[in-house]
Amino acid sequence: MKQVVLDRYGSPEEGARCAEVPEVGAPAAGEVVFDVLAFPINPADISFCRGSYRLKPPLPATPGAEGIGRVTAVGAGVSHAKPGDLVINLQRENWTQTRRVKGDDVIAVPPGLALRQAAMLRINPPTALLLLTDVVDLKPGEWVIQNVANSAVGRLVIRLARARGLRTMNVVRRDTLFGELTALGADACAVDGPDLAETVKARTGGAPIRLGLDAVSGRATARLASCLSEGGVVCNYGSMSGEDPVMSRSALTSGGLTLVGFILGRALATRSLDQVRALYADLGARILTGELSAPVERVYPIEEIKAALTHAQRGERNGKILVAPNGPV
């Protein structure tokens, strides 16, 4: 079978290749085997390939934090998944044609889910939801500000915030995105820059903003912080700039702001397996109705992983880059 193998950390398209590897074999008791139908290339996967992610296993290694699979076989004692079920996998190494994992690591998703959207269910939808629920106890009518607002997470934040009665101030790198983000439910938009605080104040009518979601880091964190009301919280959950977050000392002291971090794994670890399954059932149902979605720019076959990785690193994409290891989806 085919699998993406990373031979060296550095440039992703140079370090990764599509390799022929042995089949995974039949499932033992308590195990599940599934074919990977599609997986996205996320910023964290790019960092993994570069060797700058928090996990840096010895090489060769197989990347891939998420994907959608179809179960082909289950071992004795597995009752919550059966052959034919669509499943997401809570474990990594998903850039491959077939996986064999512990039964408890897979979660069945609604059968009618569009495969491209299902491939992106595992990480970004719960991230967007928990960024809105776990950090600050926001009440309906309150504002939240976020950068990378046109990213998959950013678009999900817009939809989920609207569903909770929250208002979003959305910061992006170009004003040509304002129309589509507004159509999605954004209440206001701004282009990032040195005058961000004044622009935001004008577009929100000076309303207090208690939560800022930052996935750019570097000076962008300080600019986002400058838009918050006294005592507000900046939640850093990514670093598209590749830098560490910067906060001015006066924001922390005079402004009473707090800088916190979010990572999905830690947020899910505070929940039971039943709660995690319920979370994905809720998000899967919302994807099924079309309430939640993320645009896809292109789907590549696994043999073209190098081209897919190059494409995924381009700025100003109109959606995710997906890979379909077992034929078109």
| Contact residues: ligand NAP, CB under 6 A | 42-44, 123-124, 127, 148, 150-153, 173, 215-216, 237-238, 240-241, 262-264, 315-316, 320
Cβ distance to ligand NAP smaller for residue 62 or 151: 151
Dmax of the chain from CA atoms? 62
Query: How is residue 226 written in tokens?
Result: 């400058």
Would you say 300 and 308 are in contact if contact means Cβ atoms under 8 Å apart?
Answer: yes
Confirm whether 53 is a catalytic residue.
yes
Query: How is residue 46 written in tokens?
Result: 């790019």
Cβ distance to ligand NAP smaller for residue 97 or 226: 226
Query: How is residue 321 written in tokens?
Result: 């880059």
CB of 74 to ligand NAP, least distance (A): 29
Residues in Cβ contact with 90 at an 8 Å cutoff, skipping those fewer than 6 apart:
105, 106, 107, 122, 276
Cβ distance to ligand NAP smaller for residue 24 or 144: 144
Cβ distance to ligand NAP smaller for residue 126 or 232: 126
- 324 half-sphere exposure, CB direction, 13 A CA radius: 12
Distance CA 106, CA 35 (A): 12
The active-site residue out of 9, 53, 237, 280 is 53
CB of 120 to ligand NAP, least distance (A): 8
Cβ distance to ligand NAP smaller for residue 176 or 250: 176
**Which residue, judged by CB position, is nearest to ligand NAP in the bound state?**
238
CB of 19 to ligand NAP, least distance (A): 25
Distance CA 300, CA 74 (A): 29
Q: Characterize 152-181 residue by residue with b for buried, 16 or more Cβ atoms within 10 angstroms of its Cβ, and e for exposed.
A: bbbbbbbbbbbeeebbbbbbbbeeebbeeb
Cβ distance to ligand NAP smaller for residue 19 or 263: 263
- The residues assigned a catalytic role are 53
